[in-house]
Structure 1
Amino acid sequence: MKTLLTTLNSKYIHSSLALRYIKSYCEDEFDINLEEYTINQHSDDVVAELYRQQADIIAFSCYIWNIEQTLEIISLLKKVQPDVKVLLGGPEVSFDPIKTMEENPSVDYIICGEGEITFKEFLNKLTTTGDLSIVKGLVYREDDKIIKNPPRPVIDNLDEIPSPYQSMEGLENKIIYFESNRGCPFNCQYCLSSTLSSVRYFSLERVKEELLKFIKAKVRQVKFVDRTFNCNPRRSLEIFKFLLENKPSDHEMNFHFEITADLLSDEIIEFLAKVPQGYFQFEIGVQSTNSETLKLIDRKMNFERLSEVVRKLSKPKNIHLHLDLIAGLPQEDYQSFRKSFNDVYQLRPGRLQLGFLKLIKGSGLRIREKEYEYIYTPMPPYEVLANKKISYSQMLKLKMIEEVLETFGNSHHFDYSVEFIEKNFYESPFDMYESLAEFWEQKGYYRYSHKLESLYEYLQEFYQEYCQDKEEIFNEILKFDLLLGRRKVDLADFLNKYEVEDYKSRFKDFINNEEMVKEYLPELTDLSSRQIQRQIQVETFKYNIFDIINDFTKDIREDYTVILFNYYNKENLLNKALFKEIDL
């Protein structure tokens, strides 16, 4: 019997951890193939690929981002290969499997919950007695009926599951997803993890063995999918220390963790300050700072402590911090969300993600949707459009704010320019992004994509319409932001240019002067003058940029300043040029 595991990942660089677990658990008894596709591929093409496999059973891993296309593919496949048996698993089908099978006659089986043991038992019974009634966690068809077996208990000893990464084949240039535990200690009502009451751990020996495998395989990124990586502080510190002790010296690599910041002890924070730049990334879920909202969603958080921890983690500038907010939570109206946004933004994380609540099947908020008068999309991803505290119109405004936040904030191409606008013309960051969103919508810029060069001009346009003061200074800051991020760029016409007298000969003298190169560009001393020229750019500013960025609200007078931008070794998390003032 030929068995195929498959799924539609959201991006090519993603990989399915769930399917690799199932394959590793079953392959001592069964020959199982694994093929991964993406939601960006045409359904017809995926059907053709699956048909060529001529499998007897195809099992699909289902999530909110792929369920609709998966069902379309299954329906088409059954038309051309009617004898193939189709099994679904994953969170999107685990909570209403009978309804899913009633609405989709092409689906033959569904596995609810953890799939390793259930799938293996399913294959065993299918290939021997055919009696599926004793396979816990399975839903199946029998004659004209749909039978749902009793649920399967979770796996207590996770080390019983063989490594999903016994082979690294096919994972080149892909993100590796990894878990050191399953479950979550919290009970957040918007999350499926609230349906599991405890945390189970893989042994530290097993975890370390797997991590060493990734390091030796020269993987670029490992993402821990643990819902709260640091729920056991001592254990998380031991893993952090292990990763630091084994940091590869022959290739770049990073590890991404979802953590609860207010659980981090000062001991762990002190240790994390020693981690090399870019080696760790932290995603921290804040979701809201409204105490009533947090109580209703059963989320425990000490925001004062979280803020303290984030500031301490930010100080060494060695770990990328990604903080999350969710719009549409209970009792969070527009003004309350404004406060939550400002509370988190003032922590200046590397990324502030403004997400929108999804009423996921099986979650507490989905069960209580009528109580909060939720209006949401009936099809996946079940995104909230409005509730009794926030209107659809306001949610649309937040959508536009999210777009300009991504474009001008999280991109980090405009850091100094955005902060200058905020500090000089707005009471809060949210107010600034609200105005920028209004401008973006009025101009219709949200309707299409843009070249990066155009975005600088659009921000200048916004400034001229909404700020109308200190325009010449802002133009200089915008130019500075552009030069920090773009190697050897020609300045656009809307940016002011100032020439140093006899610039070409002075610049030539500078790059040919060994003492000057040693002082200003010590890491480039082994390069020829021609090579040095390719790695740097020199521009003149009418105002002293250093004075401006040290105090955005300070009155600035003309003070011509020449700045050297060094693109050779961008030793910072944001990959920006190093810069110094020089005297040509």
Structure 2
Amino acid sequence: MASIVITTLNARYIHTAFGLRYLYANMGNLQAETALLEFGVQQRPIEIVEKLLQQQARIIGFGVYIWNVAEISAVVAILKQVAPETIIVLGGPEVSHPPDLPAVAELADYIVTGNGEISFPQLCSQLLTGITQIPKIIVGKPALLATLVAPYSHYSDTDIRQRIIYVEASRGCPFKCEFCLSSLDTTAKPFELQPFLQEMEILYQRGARHFKFIDRTFNLKVDSSVAILEFFLARISEDLYLHFEVIPDNLPERLKQVIVKFPPGVLQFEVGVQTFDPAIQQLISRKQDNQKTRDNLNWLRQHSNAHIHADLIAGLPGDTLAGFGASFDDLIVLNPQEIQVGILKRLRGAPINRHNEGYRLRYDPNPPYTILSTSNFSFTDLQRIGRFARFWDLIGNSGRFSATLPLIVGDRPFDRFLLFSDALYTLTDSTWQIALKRLFELTYTVMSKTLMLPHTDTLEALSQDFLRSGEKSPPNFLQNTTEIRAKRGLANKRQRQYL
């Protein structure tokens, strides 16, 4: 049993609640009375309530995010019905910007905005000692990083074996991109390097091999970036995987010299390009040297083994369908392994909200608050981009259609893939639950009847990709081709030789 429960709902089982572990690590003398429980958004709210109440806690604190606010709202509503005496405290980005608060805030007893490592334990101490004259909204106090207790020992062995291990070498961001909550930070502050690396060594010795750095600007301070990369370079193993979010236009020579030493499959760089349009960049206070960004992405693809995950955002103020397409075409030429096509979301407190009226930014009132239309981007076209993004994941990012994709996009990648996406949706009336074999068949139909591609080229590309897919029975359009039968026969013959 615990007096205090801290909890949240993760988007997927593989995720871990890094913020809760920081909170738990810094509960001080209340840690022995605190339980950390994690759930998933797929779980039934009533079952979550049952497990929470088994702790018989006086205080339950929830971490509320854009991806779980609806589910947490349902959990809190049930709690208030069956256990009204339980004190509910909300924290996290979704409740940190009053008066812009979700409806669940009305049900909460207290809300801690911003950082909670100091303010939440103080609140709990007051409540457990009978102090009740406390304002409902408590402004979180940011702690000096050197005074924080590190959270890494609170990853369980199961976490290390089965889940993503989140780590941070710095907090904050010096940039002011208005679509991002990090624009509210004053600057980026690093944790002390040697203690941080000691924690990484302990995690590594415990078996951790999948490290996801949540630093917004990993390559901002090159000395630290190089030291961290060299630390892991000395511990290279076949299963080591490192994810970093990097600034696209800052790749000095010292950093390049370390990056080139990593073998394939270890480094993943998430590169936030967002847009190549200088007018939009200026409008949303984004400082990005587009030429350096292009040069650095080219260098990474040509001279390193890093996997590049590049982000674009559709629906920014001033953006248009054609303008977004131009950024997509600019990016695809640079050949990142993945292009994440994101749709703008309304983040509470983000400075971009100052453009809501001027650019008629209209968002879905339901989480995750996706942009619906703007003065320059119609609802219909944003819906098309949403489907484009999903089909791009299936065709472009999956790696399953490496021979077919160049035929689809040709020399006008955005326009042609949008045409492909529109036609695919017409056939399916869905972007989900499309089996791989059916996806091959649909792709063949669209390439033949909509894109009007040469039949021989289409069959050749799709047969190559299908043979790599692992699917056992070929789609209908390949079943009668001599080539696919011959290749499958050769593959079976080779397989029998090793039996």
TM-score, normalised with respect to structure 2: 0.93
2:461 aligned with 1:468 = no
- Seen in structure 2, the aligned counterparts of structure 1 residues 497 and 181 have a Cα distance that, compared at 3 Å, is same
Please tell me whether the aligned partners of residues 223 and 256 of structure 1 are also in contact (alpha carbons under 8 angstroms): yes
TM-superposition CA deviations, 1:466-519 (whole Å, max 9, x none)? 2434312321121111223427x4444422224999x989996xx6xxxxxxxx
Rounded to whole Å, the distance in 1 between the matches of 2:226 and 2:439 is 42
1:416 maps to 2:400: no
TM-superposed deviation, 1:323: 0.3
Moved more, 314-323 or 298-307: 314-323
| Aligned residue number for residue 252 of structure 1 | 239
Report the counterpart of residue 514 of structure 1 in structure 2.
none
- 4 and 418 in structure 1: CA distance in 2 versus 1, 3 angstrom threshold: same
TM-aligned CA distance change 1:307 to 1:499, over 3 Å:
closer
Q: Report how far residue 152 of structure 1 moved.
A: 4.5
Instruction: Please say if 1:444 is aligned against 2:423.
Output: no
**Which whole-Å CA distance do the structure 1 matches of 2:16 and 2:498 have between them?**
41
How much has 1:360 moved relative to structure 2? 0.8
Q: Which amino acid aligns with 2:293?
A: L
Aligned: 1:239 with 2:228? yes
Compute the displacement of 1:344 (Å). Answer: 0.9
Given residue 198 of structure 2, which amino acid in structure 1 is its aligned partner? E
Q: TM-score, normalised by structure 1?
A: 0.80
Indicate conservation of the 8 Å contact 2:276/2:290, yes or no.
yes
Partner amino acid for 2:255? I
Aligned length: 492
CA deviations on 1:214-272 (whole Å, 9 max, x unpaired) are 2222224211111111111121111111111122x4x6120111001211112312321
**Post-superposition offset of 1:69:** 1.5
- Distance in 1 (alpha carbons) for counterparts of 2:124 and 2:383: 48
Q: Tell me if structure 2 keeps the 8 A contact 1:401–1:434.
A: yes
Partner of residue 170, structure 2: 181
Cα displacement string for residues 146-194 of structure 1 (whole angstroms, at most 9, x for unaligned residues): xx45x454223x1311121224324130111111111101001011111
Aligned to 1:483: 467
CA distance in 2, matches of 1:188, 1:499: 50
Identity %: 30
| Helix, strand or coil at the partner of 2:152 | coil
Partner of 2:279: 292
Aligned partner of 1:126 in structure 2 is: 127
**Aligned partners of 1:498, 1:188: CA distance in 2, in Å?**
52
- Kept in 1, the 8 Å contact 2:126–2:132? The answer is yes
Residues 325-375 of structure 1 show CA distances to partners (whole Å, capped at 9, x for unaligned) of 001111111111110111111111111011011121111112331122111
Q: Distance in 1 between matches of 2:277 and 2:108?
A: 43
The C-alpha deviation readout for 1:278-309, integer Å capped at 9, x for no partner, is 11111000111110000011111112111111
How big is the shift at 1:397?
1.6
CA–CA distance in 2 between the matches of 1:85 and 1:55?
Answer: 9
Alignment match, 2:143: 155
8 Å contact from structure 2 (residues 95, 105) kept in 1: no
Contact 2:119 2:141 in 1 (8 A): no
What pairs with 1:81-120 in structure 2 (closer than 5 Å)? 81-96=83-98, 104-120=105-121
Partner of 1:571: none
**Is the 8 Å Cα contact of residues 87 and 109 (structure 2) preserved in structure 1?**
yes
Secondary structure of the corresponding residue to residue 58 of structure 1: strand
Stretches of structure 1 that go unaligned for 5 or more consecutive residues are 134-138, 141-147, 512-528, 534-584
1:368-399 alpha-carbon deviations (Å, 9 max, x no partner): 31122111112322211111111111111211
The aligned amino acid for 2:63 is: S
Residue equivalent to 1:212? 201
Deviation digits for residues 22-45 of structure 1, max 9, x if unmatched? 111114443210000011111111
Corresponding position of 1:19? 20
- Determine if the alignment matches structure 1 residue 201 to structure 2 residue 186: no
**Alpha-carbon offset, residue 452 of structure 1:** 0.9
User: Superposition pairs for residues 126-145 of structure 1, below 5 Å?
Assistant: 126-128=127-129, 130=131, 133=134, 139-140=135-136
Contact 1:97 1:110 in 2 (8 A): no
Question: Aligned-pair distance for 1:453?
Answer: 1.5
Give the aligned residue type for 2:280: T
1:324 aligns with 2:325: no
SS of corresponding position for 1:494:
helix
Shift of 1:6: 0.3
**In the alignment, which of 269, 275, 280 is matched to residue 262 of structure 2?**
275
Give, in whole Å, the separation in 1 of the partners of 2:443 and 2:49: 45
Deviates more, 1:163-172 or 1:328-337: 163-172
Which amino acid in 1 is paired with 2:462? L
Q: What's the RMSD between the two structures over aligned residues? A: 2.4
Cα distance in 2 for partners of 1:279, 1:407 equals 23
Select between 331-340 and 119-128 the one with higher mean Cα deviation.
Answer: 119-128
Counterpart residue type for residue 142 of structure 2? V
Q: Distance in 2 between matches of 1:98 and 1:418?
A: 43
**AA partner of residue 8 (structure 1):** L
Residue by residue over 1:424-470, the C-alpha shift from the partner in whole angstroms, topping out at 9 and shown as x without a partner, is xxx41101111111211221352541211221111111111024343
Q: Is the 8 A contact 1:385 1:392 kept in 2?
A: yes
- Answer whether contact 2:248 2:273 (CA < 8 A) is retained: no
Q: Please give the alpha-carbon distance, in whole angstroms, between the structure 2 residues aligned to 1:130 and 1:33.
A: 22
Structure 1 pair 415–16 and aligned structure 2 pair: CA distance change class (3 A):
same
Matched to 2:181, the amino acid is L
Q: Which runs of 5+ in 2 are unaligned?
A: none
Residue in 1 aligned with 2:323?
A: 336
C-alpha displacement at 1:418, in angstroms? 1.3
SS at match of 1:261: coil
Output the CA distance in 1 between the equivalents of 2:477 and 2:489: 23
Closer, same or farther: CA 303–99 of 1 in aligned 2, 3 Å:
closer
**Which residue of 497, 518, 521 corresponds with 2:482?**
497
8 Å CA contact 1:175, 1:220 repeated in 2 = no
* Corresponding position of 2:292: 305
Task: Kindly state the Cα deviation for residue 530 of structure 1 after the two structures are TM-superposed.
Answer: 5.0
> Are positions 1:356 and 2:356 aligned together?
no
Once residues 115 and 505 of structure 1 are traced to their aligned partners in structure 2, the CA distance between those partners, rounded to angstroms, is 62
SS at structure 1 position matched to 2:258: helix
Other structure's SS at 1:306 match: helix
Q: What letter matches 2:143 in structure 1? A: I
Amino acid at match of 2:344: L
Secondary structure of the residue aligned to 2:94 is coil
Question: Of 138, 155, 176, which aligns to 1:168?
Answer: 155
Aligned residue in 1 for 2:59:
57
Gap change, CA 1:227 and 1:460, over 3 Å in 2:
same
Q: In structure 1, what is the Cα distance between the partners aligned to 2:432 and 2:128? A: 53
Q: Which has the higher contact order (CA 8 A, sep 6+)?
A: 2
8 Å CA contact 2:173–2:182 kept in 1: the answer is: yes
Give the Cα–Cα distance (whole angstroms) in 2 for the partners of residues 162 and 202 of structure 1: 11
2:268–2:308 CA contact under 8 A, matched in 1: yes
Q: Which has the larger radius of gyration?
A: 1
Task: Output the CA distance in 2 between the equivalents of 1:73 and 1:476.
Answer: 53
Give the corresponding residue for 1:581.
none
Q: Give the Cα–Cα distance (whole angstroms) in 1 for the partners of residues 102 and 461 of structure 2.
A: 56
Distance 1:108 1:34, change over 3 A: same
Is structure 2 residue 9 aligned with structure 1 residue 8?
Answer: yes
| SS of aligned partner of 2:440 | helix
The aligned amino acid for 1:115 is: G
CA contact (8 A) 2:308 2:336 kept: yes
User: Relative to structure 1, is the Cα distance of residues 506 and 258 closer, same or farther in structure 2, using a 3 angstrom cutoff?
Assistant: closer
- Specify the code of the residue in structure 2 equivalent to 1:198: T
After superposition, give the CA deviation of every residue in 1:547-584 in whole Å (9 maximum; x if it has no partner). Answer: xxxxxxxxxxxxxxxxxxxxxxxxxxxxxxxxxxxxxx
Counterpart AA for 2:312: L
Distance 1:92 1:313, change over 3 A: same
